[in-house]
Amino acid sequence: MRKLAAGNWKMNGNAAALSEVTALLSAHPDPTCEMLLCPPATLIAQMNWAARNSALRIGGQDCHAKAAGAHTGDISAAMLKDAGATYVILGHSERRADHGESDEEVRTKAEAALDAGLIAIVCVGETELQRDAGQTLAVVGAQLKASVPDAVTAENVVIAYEPVWAIGTGRTPTLDEIAEVHAFLRAELAARIGDQATGVRLLYGGSVKPSNAAEIFALANVDGALVGGASLKAADFGAIVAALSA
Ligand code: PGA
């Protein structure tokens, strides 16, 4: 399986920030891992152009469940694809919290993404309260079950485990805690789709940075990362790409 270094720019970046893409590609023209950046929708087409003929893939951060229609302000999976995206992040905890997205809604969006030929990166993760209450596996298990479409294969879906309390905080679970959740996710997928589960990429996300990337990537069942803050700068994201390619 090819590992995946995915960057989520969130609501950051404008045309001037595309210089980071140029810098990233000149430092890492041909990494062994797959390299993906998900900029704001306004930058997808321009970033796709900046990354033409390169190893960098482009993704969206959300899509609507419908293919087209009267949904002011929304973007369909087919539109992301048309702009040059090959991936879309779905069910990020910020979407779940800020827009009240339920597991069912995330699954419907993921189905739309698959229909449009995009690879869906489906995010799951517990809050700090849930972890403290010992509910982590129950929470991520339920999210996985209800958010991931039945058509899941190793090729069309990536799962990102992102503890909500680790996102943007500089705090991460212990290595044992990450390994425990990833092993659990693998087992749950295996119960659902059998041998295919070994090929589904399981990303860890939440305060991944150059200084902790290597030890996280050395864990079993960690097949890459979903990186927020550290994906904005070519030097930081490049160091994470290098750690994953090592
Ligand atoms: P962070 O964000 O790397 O800034 O913690 C991760 C994410 O939200 O995907």
> CA angle at residue 32 from 28 to 34, to 5 degrees?
85
Task: Round to whole Å and give the CA distance between 72 and 196.
Answer: 38
**139-191: pLDDT as tens digits:** 999 999 999 999 999 999 999 999 999 999 999 999 999 999 999 999 999 99
**What does residue 122 show for φ and ψ, rounded to 5 degrees?**
-95, 125
| 13-58 confidence digits (pLDDT tens) | 999 999 999 999 999 999 999 999 999 999 999 999 999 999 999 9
State whether residue 159 is helix, strand or coil: strand
E-assigned strands of 173-241? 202-205, 224-227
The whole-angstrom separation of Cα 156 and Cα 77 is 14
C-alpha 168 to ligand 1 mean position (Å):
5
Q: Per the structure, how many domains does the chain have?
A: 1
CB atoms within 10 A of CB 138: 12
User: Which atom of ligand 1 sits closest to the CA of residue 166?
Assistant: 5
Beta carbons of 44 and 16 less than 8 angstroms apart:
no
Q: pTM for the full model?
A: 0.98
Task: Report the CATH number at residue 78.
Answer: 3.20.20.70
- Residue whose CB lies within 8 A of the most ligand 1 atoms, among 9, 36, 61, 162, for a mutation test: 162
Question: Does the annotation mark 20 as catalytic?
Answer: no
Nearest one of 97, 197, 206, 185 to 155, comparing CA atoms:
197
Residue 168 belongs to domain spanning = 4-245
Give residues (CB < 6 A) around ligand 1. 8, 162, 167-168, 205-208, 226-230
Cross-strand bridge partners of residue 205: 226
- For residue range 80-127, what is the model confidence (pLDDT) as tens digits? 999 999 999 999 999 999 999 999 999 999 999 999 999 999 999 999
CA dihedral (97, 11, 156, 244) positive or negative:
negative
129 Rama sector, left if φ>0, alpha if ψ -120 to 50, beta otherwise: alpha
For the question of residue 92 being annotated catalytic, the response is: yes
Q: Which candidate in 34, 92, 94, 105 is catalytic?
A: 92
Separation of CA 175 from chain center: 19
Distance (Å) from CA 193 to ligand 1 centroid: 28
Residue 246: per-residue pLDDT:
85
Ligand 1 pocket test, candidate residues 89, 208, 209, 212, most atoms within 8 A of CB = 208
Average pLDDT over residues 48-76: 97
Cβ(161)–Cβ(182) below 8 Å = yes
The ligand 1 atom at the shortest distance from the C-alpha of residue 206 is: 5
Mean pLDDT, the chain, whole residue set: 97
